[in-house]
Amino acid sequence: MSDDTLIDAAIAVRTRAYAPYSRFLVGAALHDADGHLFIGCNTENAAYPEGICAEGGAISAMVAAGGRRIADLVICGGGDRPCAPCGGCRQKIREFGAPGLRIRMVNPSGDVLLVRTLAELLPDAFGPEDLGAA
């Protein structure tokens, strides 16, 4: 285990993913602006590809607990290639994350494979401020 709680949490929750169709397990862990930890794992269903991504699950848990701002995010996929968030998740992250939000992608051993800001993953993003929301 690493000395980083987000990396450890993303690795641990990845093992609980439900992915009988793709067999591609993903875990996500985030801290909100108050430092609270939230986790999510991908959850598939028989109407594949309809399912829930790990990032969306973690964000939903944060929102359900009253959080509104992602301060740090880690995504853990399998293998030695970074597991970058899909397009839909990039937009979900943008709803609750600032363009400078650091997103780390790690493997199941906890090695950081790639670090990007949200702006690098989703340049020129459409966000809440474009609709006059705070």
Helices (H), 15-75: 54-64
pLDDT at 130: 87
Q: What is the pLDDT of residues 82-133, one digit of tens each?
A: 999 999 999 999 999 999 999 999 999 999 999 999 999 999 988 888 898 7
Strand order in the sheet with 70-76: 37-41, 27-32, 70-76, 102-106, 112-117
Looking at the predicted structure, is the pLDDT value of residue 53 above 90? yes
Q: What is the pLDDT of residue 109?
A: 96
pTM: 0.94
Is residue 74 within 8 Å of residue 43, measured between CB atoms?
no
Query: If 0-12 CB within 10 Å is exposed, 13-18 middle and 19+ buried, where does residue 64 land?
Result: exposed
Q: What's residue 103's pLDDT?
A: 98
Q: Which of 44, 55, 95, 120 is catalytic?
A: 55
Residue 3: pLDDT band (50, 70, 90) is: low
**Domain spans in the chain, listed from the N-terminal domain onward:** 5-125
Chain Cα centroid distance, residue 81: 16
pLDDT digits 0-9 by tens, 33-49: 999 999 999 999 999 88
134 vs 125: CA distance, rounded Å = 15
Question: What architecture (CATH level 2) is domain 5-125?
Answer: 3-Layer(aba) Sandwich (3.40)
- pLDDT given at position 2: 57
Query: Is 50 a known active-site residue?
Result: no
